Amino acid sequence: MPLKTNQQKDLEKKGYRFVGSRKHAAAKICHWTKKSILNEGVCYKEKFYGIKSHRCLQMSPSISFCHHKCLFCWRDVSITKTQWDEEFDEPADIIDGCIEAQKNLLCGFFGNSQADPEKLAECKDPNNAAISLAGEPMLYPLINDLLAEFKKRDFTTFLVSNGMTPSRLENLDPEPTQLYLSLDAPNPQIYKQLCHPQINDGWRRLNESLDLLSSFNCRTVIRMTCVKDYNMIQPEEYARIIKKSNPDFVEIKAYMYVGNSRKRLQFDNMPRSKDIQDFATTIAELCDRKIIDQSPESRVVLLK
């Protein structure tokens, strides 16, 4: 079943704009897109990988679909569904709708004297898709077609997956510009405690997906969301998994105490910058990697 009207309106109050006739896809302006337009800073993805924050389209084709109900998720996980049991919109319609939604959401900046005129002109024409807003994009039945449509429009694509669909990952065509896999636990016990999987074999599926990383031609990244007093332990296990899967990069990032996660976790579960730096340093040493960059304001460290 599609989202109920009250569920959709609740997300709209939080800045989501649903697109298409089926309302399973949405866009939302990233905090760093707004900051960049005002020349007040940029996303760590611009610092690390060169994409332009003011031209980034943050979206998802599968807002309410996911295999997990993670404690650290910023959205209301009560809407989460694990099976696609409804009709769906075509990729071109989703992309058109998301671009139009982004333009409408940014309209207020065109009367702001503090906005950068050059960036204002460019932000209406996004060229990077962060397919990461909410939900698991690999559950969208036409994910390959969505990537192909973005590619046809000369977009770069950053696709974030929870790794629960290894068979679909194996058949991604075309590949995104950058593929993220989330690794949020060092072992199956912590994985179950923190990620609340809605399927029985999630840990197996995740490891199967991680084993596929080295087969990709695109840039690959393991993303770790660190929650203090939950998963910032057993760095040697994280290092072992990183060594085995051999991604191009590893992002070690602090959980942020925002959104609906505040109903499940405490402020003290949010690591400090130093906590992240120390944890990242230990993992880097254990898996023979180097810290090559970091963004203290986002509490994220990059290993290569």
Per-residue pLDDT of the chain (304 residues; tens, 9 = 90+): 578 888 899 889 988 999 999 999 999 999 999 999 999 999 999 999 999 999 999 999 999 999 999 999 998 898 999 989 889 999 999 999 999 999 999 999 998 999 999 999 999 999 999 999 999 999 999 999 999 999 999 999 999 999 999 999 999 999 999 999 999 999 999 999 999 999 999 999 999 999 999 999 999 999 999 999 999 999 999 999 999 999 999 999 999 999 999 999 999 999 999 999 999 999 999 999 999 999 999 999 999 9
Residue 149 makes CB contacts below 8 A (sequence gap 6+) with 91, 92, 95
Fold for domain 5-303? TIM Barrel (3.20.20)
> Rounded distance, CA 148 to CA 96, Å?
14
**Separation of alpha carbons 199 and 219, rounded Å:** 28
Query: Which pLDDT belongs to residue 37?
Result: 97
The number of beta carbons lying within 10 Å of the beta carbon of residue 215 is 9
Q: Locate 44 and state its tokens.
A: 């760590």
Query: How many Å apart are CA 35 and CA 304, to the nearest integer?
Result: 27
Cβ-contact 180, 159 below 8 angstroms: yes
pLDDT given at position 7: 87
270 within 8 A of 264, measured Cβ to Cβ: no
At residue 118, the pLDDT reads: 95
Reading the block at residue 197, the tokens are 């999987």
Look at residue 1 in the predicted model and tell me its pLDDT: 59
